[in-house]
C-alpha cells in the first residue's frame, strides 16, 4: 500500500479529534463568530442563562441548552442575520463563596479558575459564542454598572398618576409645593397602584415637609424610593447565615442550603417590585413564553380584588383586606398575625403571658409550616374585641400563626361558615359559626354544617344584600358599594408579591453604594463608582447577622459617614447582564443606547424553569425601570423563552451529582466520540423540554450515523439503496419540503 493510499484512507475515515481541533482553532483565529457592529442586516440575539462557574465544571446536562442555542445561532447566521450569541459568568453569590471557605482560598481566585475551565469546556464542544464579549459579574468593570443601576432605583420613585418611575428630585419638589395629598388620593382612586409607596405612608403638607429636618425628609423619602431600606421580619438561613428572599424559600427551606428558615427582624435593602405588579402581570400577554412560566408568574404576583374594611378596637382601627366583603355579616371573630404591630396594645393583662409565649413560638416556624392546611390550628385569645362595622357586633380578636403579616394587612375577618381554615379554627376553639350564604337545596342552619360552604347560594342574614345571588360577583359589588356609601370601607386591590429583598450579609457580592450619614442614607456619587469589594483575609459569615465587611474600618469609614456593609444578592447582576452584552467594553457608561436599541430585546432566551419567579421576574422589573427612565426603548427583556428539560444520571432516578459519582462530563464524551457526536445526541435525545436519563448507548449511535454522513459526502454512491429515478421537478419539491421542515424544527427546538 502506498503512502498516497494510506493518506486517502485517513481522509475517508471520520476522525473527529483531528477535524474538530483544526477547525475550532481556525474559528478562533478568524474571530468567525464575533458579532458585527450594528449594520443594515436584521439582527438575532440568542442567549443562554449565564452560568455561575462551579468547581464541578460542566456536565452533559449543561449542554442540553447550550447545544440547541448554538444550532439556532448558526442557523440565523446562515440566513444572513447579524447574530449576537455571547457567554458570561454569574460569578457572585453563595456557591463560589461557600466553596472558597471550604477550600480556604480567595473566592476571586477560585472564580477565575472555575470560569477558565468552563470556557475550555464550552470551546471543546464547538459552541459558536462571541468570546470577545465575555463578562464576569464579579469584575469591577461589570459591577460598577450594577451599582449605577442600583442608584438609579434609589434616586427614583413610582408616580401612580403617570404609572411610571420618575426621578426622586421631582417628588421632592412636589412635596415642597403640594405635600403628598395628590399622590395619596390617586392611590385611593386607583387601588391597583397600591404598591407605588409604602403601606401606611402618612399624609404630609407642603408646610410640614418644608419644616422637616433633612433626616426626617430622607426617612420619609424611603417610603417612595424604588431601592429602599426598611426594618422587616426576614427569612434567615441558619446554615448559610444569610437573609433569603421570599422567592428563595421553597416549602419552608432555603433554596440553596435546604435549611429550615428562621425569622429575624433586620434593617434590609429592598427593590419596590410591588410598584410594578400590575404591569408585570399585564405584560405577560405580550411575550412568547411557556404557559407554565406565565402561570407561575401570574400566581406569584397574585392579584386579588376586594375591599378594605376597618374593624374598630380599643387600640384603634384594625384594617382587613377581603375578597369576599359580601360575607362580612358572617364574621364571628378576627385573627391577627403574631407579628402584627397591635398585638401588644390589644392584649389584655390577663392574656399577656399566654399571647407573648405564643408569639415567640410562632417566630420559630416557617411560613410554609404556619400555613399548612393539614396541621391542627393553634391560636390564643387576646382578651380584646372588635366591632363588626356592618352590624355592630362585638367579636373576639385572636392571634394565630396561620395569618401572615406579609400578605394583606396581617389581620383577617374570620367567616367560619364559608372558609375552611376559619371553620377548622372555630371548631377547635368552640367559636360561633354564622351562615350568610345559603346553599341551594340546603335547609339547615350553621350548626348542621360539617365543613365550610365556599360555593354559590343566596345571601341571608346579610342586611341590605339579603336575597342576592352569591358567588357571581353581584353580591361582592353591592357589598363594596354599601361599605363606601356608609364610609366603612373601600374597594382595594391586593397583590401576593412582596418587595424584593436584595440585602445579603455576605462578603462575595456587589457592594451596595450607600453611605449612612447624620442626615440618613445618601448615594455614593456616580464619579466615585465603583465601590470596590476589598481584598480580605477572612470572609466567613458572621454569627451576628452583619456582613464580614462591617469589620473592615478602612472600608466602612468615609469622610461623609459609614459605608453600607451588606452586599447585593447575585440576582441584581443577572437582572441586567443581557443588556451589557450589547456593549461589554464600555468604560464610560453602562451601555451605548444605540447599540442596545439595535440588539435588544433578546430574541431567544434559554434556561431552567426553576428561575420562573426569581431571575425572570427580577429582570423584567429592572427592564421596566430603565424603560421608564428612558435608558432603554423596550419594555420586556426576553421576547421568546424556552426551558430545557433536565438530563438525569443513566439510572433515570437521580440528578447528576459529583458527590454521587454519577456525573458525565463533555470532556470524556468528546475524547471518545467527538464533539459533533455529543452535540447530535444532545439534540436528538428527546423533546427539548422533557426530563430524560442519559443513555450511554446514545452517543455511540450518533457517532455511527456521523460516520455514514462522512462517507456519503466523500462518496455519494457508497451506500446502496439510494433512489436515482427522481425527476428534476420531484427533487426540487422534496428539497423545498425538507428545507421547510428543517427550518420549522430548528425554530421549535424539535431536532
Query: Quick one: which H or E segment has residue 653?
Result: none
Q: Return the pLDDT at 258.
A: 87
Q: Return the pLDDT at 730.
A: 87
Q: Return the pLDDT at 723.
A: 60
Integer Cα distance of 344 and 214 in angstroms: 32
Q: Return the pLDDT at 545.
A: 75
Per-residue pLDDT at 7 exceeds 60: no
pLDDT higher for 710 or 372? 710
pLDDT in tens, 114-151: 999 999 999 999 999 999 999 999 999 999 999 999 99
Integer Cα distance of 87 and 581 in angstroms: 8
Cis peptide, bond prior to residue 697, ω within 30 of zero: no
Q: pTM for this structure?
A: 0.91
Q: Return the pLDDT at 539.
A: 80
CA dist 688 → 94, 392, 509, 702, 748 (Å): 29, 61, 33, 17, 9
CATH superfamily of 3-33+51-134+577-701: HUPs (3.40.50.620)
Query: Quick one: which H or E segment has residue 37?
Result: none
Of the candidates 269, 178, 175, the one whose C-alpha atom is nearest the C-alpha of residue 222 is 269
Cis peptide, bond prior to residue 56, ω within 30 of zero: no
Q: Which of 88-97, 280-289, 434-443 has the highest mean pLDDT?
A: 280-289
Cα torsion for 144, 146, 150, 152, to the nearest 10°? 80
Q: Return the pLDDT at 724.
A: 65
Per-residue pLDDT at 618 exceeds 50: yes
Q: Return the pLDDT at 602.
A: 99
Per the structure block, which three cell numbers stand in for 410? 396581617
Angle between helices 675-684 and 666-673 (to 10 degrees): 110
pLDDT higher for 659 or 70? 70
Integer Cα distance of 352 and 380 in angstroms: 10
Same fold yes or no, 3-33+51-134+577-701 and 306-495:
no
Domain borders along the chain are 3-33+51-134+577-701, 148-277+291-298+499-573, 306-495
pLDDT interval class at 3 (50, 70, 90): very low
Per-residue pLDDT at 720 exceeds 60: no
Q: Return the pLDDT at 317.
A: 93
Integer Cα distance of 188 and 194 in angstroms: 8
Average of per-residue pLDDT values in the chain: 92
pLDDT interval class at 9 (50, 70, 90): low
Average of per-residue pLDDT across 646-650 = 91
Integer Cα distance of 656 and 191 in angstroms: 48
Cα torsion angle, 9, 15, 17, 20, sign: positive
Integer Cα distance of 674 and 66 in angstroms: 16
CATH superfamily of 306-495: Valyl/Leucyl/Isoleucyl-tRNA synthetase, editing domain (3.90.740.10)
Query: Quick one: which H or E segment has residue 55?
Result: none
Q: Return the pLDDT at 1.
A: 46
Helix (H, G, I), strand (E, B) or coil at 508: coil
Average of per-residue pLDDT across 162-178 = 98
Per the structure block, which three cell numbers stand in for 256? 440553596
Integer Cα distance of 380 and 12 in angstroms: 83
* β-bridge partners, 517: 520
Helix (H, G, I), strand (E, B) or coil at 303: strand
Burial of 535 (C-beta count, 10 Å sphere; 0-12/13-18/19+): exposed
Per-residue pLDDT at 260 exceeds 90: no
Amino acid at each position: 500500500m502506498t503512502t498516497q493510499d494510506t493518506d486517502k484512507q485517513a481522509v475517508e475515515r471520520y476522525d473527529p479529534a483531528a477535524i474538530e481541533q483544526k477547525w475550532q482553532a481556525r474559528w478562533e483565529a478568524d474571530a468567525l463568530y464575533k458579532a458585527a457592529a450594528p449594520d443594515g442586516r436584521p439582527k438575532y440575539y440568542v442567549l443562554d442563562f449565564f452560568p455561575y462557574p462551579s468547581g464541578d465544571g460542566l456536565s452533559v446536562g449543561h449542554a442540553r441548552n447550550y447545544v440547541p442555542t448554538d444550532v439556532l445561532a448558526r442557523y440565523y447566521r446562515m440566513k444572513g442575520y447579524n447574530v449576537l450569541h455571547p457567554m458570561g459568568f454569574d460569578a457572585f453569590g453563595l456557591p463560589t463563596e461557600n466553596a472558597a471557605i471550604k477550600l480556604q482560598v480567595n473566592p476571586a481566585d477560585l472564580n477565575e479558575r472555575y470560569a477558565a475551565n468552563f470556557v475550555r469546556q464550552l470551546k471543546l464542544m464547538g459552541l459558536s459564542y462571541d468570546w470577545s464579549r465575555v463578562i464576569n459579574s464579579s469584575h469591577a468593570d461589570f459591577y460598577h454598572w450594577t451599582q449605577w443601576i442600583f442608584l438609579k432605583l434609589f434616586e427614583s420613585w413610582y408616580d401612580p398618576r403617570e404609572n411610571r418611575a420618575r426621578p426622586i428630585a421631582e417628588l421632592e419638589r412636589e412635596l415642597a409645593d403640594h405635600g403628598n395629598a395628590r399622590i395619596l388620593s390617586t392611590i385611593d382612586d386607583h387601588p391597583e397602584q397600591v404598591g407605588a409607596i409604602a403601606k401606611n405612608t402618612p399624609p404630609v403638607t407642603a408646610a410640614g415637609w418644608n419644616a422637616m429636618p433633612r433626616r426626617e425628609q430622607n426617612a420619609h423619602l424611603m417610603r417612595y424610593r424604588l431601592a429602599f431600606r426598611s426594618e422587616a421580619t426576614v427569612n434567615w438561613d441558619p446554615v448559610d447565615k444569610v437573609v433569603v428572599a421570599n422567592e428563595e424559600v421553597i416549602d419552608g427551606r432555603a433554596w440553596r442550603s435546604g435549611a429550615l428558615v428562621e425569622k429575624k427582624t433586620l434593617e434590609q435593602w429592598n427593590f419596590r417590585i410591588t410598584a410594578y405588579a400590575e404591569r408585570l402581570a399585564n405584560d405577560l400577554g405580550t411575550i412568547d413564553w411557556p404557559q407554565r412560566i406565565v402561570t407561575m408568574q401570574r400566581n406569584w404576583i397574585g392579584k386579588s380584588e376586594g375591599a378594605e374594611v376597618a374593624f374598630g378596637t380599643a387600640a384603634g382601627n384594625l384594617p382587613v383586606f377581603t375578597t369576599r366583603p359580601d360575607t362580612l355579616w358572617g364574621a364571628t371573630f378576627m385573627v391577627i398575625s403574631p407579628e402584627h404591630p397591635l398585638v401588644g396594645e390589644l392584649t389584655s393583662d390577663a392574656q399577656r403571658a399566654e399571647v407573648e409565649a405564643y408569639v415567640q413560638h410562632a417566630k420559630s416556624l416557617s411560613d410554609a409550616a404556619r400555613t399548612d392546611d393539614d396541621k391542627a390550628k393553634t391560636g390564643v385569645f387576646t382578651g380584646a374585641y372588635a366591632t363588626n362595622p356592618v352590624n355592630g357586633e362585638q367579636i373576639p380578636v385572636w392571634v394565630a400563626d396561620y395569618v401572615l403579616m406579609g400578605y394583606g394587612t396581617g389581620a383577617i375577618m374570620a367567616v367560619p361558615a364559608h372558609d375552611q381554615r376559619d371553620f377548622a379554627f372555630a371548631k377547635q376553639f368552640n367559636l360561633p359559626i354564622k351562615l350568610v350564604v345559603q346553599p341551594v337545596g340546603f335547609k339547615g342552619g350553621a350548626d348542621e354544617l360539617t365543613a365550610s360552604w365556599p360555593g354559590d347560594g343566596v345571601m341571608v342574614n346579610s342586611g341590605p344584600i339579603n336575597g342576592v345571588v352569591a358567588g357571581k360577583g353581584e353580591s361582592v359589588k353591592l357589598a363594596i358599594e354599601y361599605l363606601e356609601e356608609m364610609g366603612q370601607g373601600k374597594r382595594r386591590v391586593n397583590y401576593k408579591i412582596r418587595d424584593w429583598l436584595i440585602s445579603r450579609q455576605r462578603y462575595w457580592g456587589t457592594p451596595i453604594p450607600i453611605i449612612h450619614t447624620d442626615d440618613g442614607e445618601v448615594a455614593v456619587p456616580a464619579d466615585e463608582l465603583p465601590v470596590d469589594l476589598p481584598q480580605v483575609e477572612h470572609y466567613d459569615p458572621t454569627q451576628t447577622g452583619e456582613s464580614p465587611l462591617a469589620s473592615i474600618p478602612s472600608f466602612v469609614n468615609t469622610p461623609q459617614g459609614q459605608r453600607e456593609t451588606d452586599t447585593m444578592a447575585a440576582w441584581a447582576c443577572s437582572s441586567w447582564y443581557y443588556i451589557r452584552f450589547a456593549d461589554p467594553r464600555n468604560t464610560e457608561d453602562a451601555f451605548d443606547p444605540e447599540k442596545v436599541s439595535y440588539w435588544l430585546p433578546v430574541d431567544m432566551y434559554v434556561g431552567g424553569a426553576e428561575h420562573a419567579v426569581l431571575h425572570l421576574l427580577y429582570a423584567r422589573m429592572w427592564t421596566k425601570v430603565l424603560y421608564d427612565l428612558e435608558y432603554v426603548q423596550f419594555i420586556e427583556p426576553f421576547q421568546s423563552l424556552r426551558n430545557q428539560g433536565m438530563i438525569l444520571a443513566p439510572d433515570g432516578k437521580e440528578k447528576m451529582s459529583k458527590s454521587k459519582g454519577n456525573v458525565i462530563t463533555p470532556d470524556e464524551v468528546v475524547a471518545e466520540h467527538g464533539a459533533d457526536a455529543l452535540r447530535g445526541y444532545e439534540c436528538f435525545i428527546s423533546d427539548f423540554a422533557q426530563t430524560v436519563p442519559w443513555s450511554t448507548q446514545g452517543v455511540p449511535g450518533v457517532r455511527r450515523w456521523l460516520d455514514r454522513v462522512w462517507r456519503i459526502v466523500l462518496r455519494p454512491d457508497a451506500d446502496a439503496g439510494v433512489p436515482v429515478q427522481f425527476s428534476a421537478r420531484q427533487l426540487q419539491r422534496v428539497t423545498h419540503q425538507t428545507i421547510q421542515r428543517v427550518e420549522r424544527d430548528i425554530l421549535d427546538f424539535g431536532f
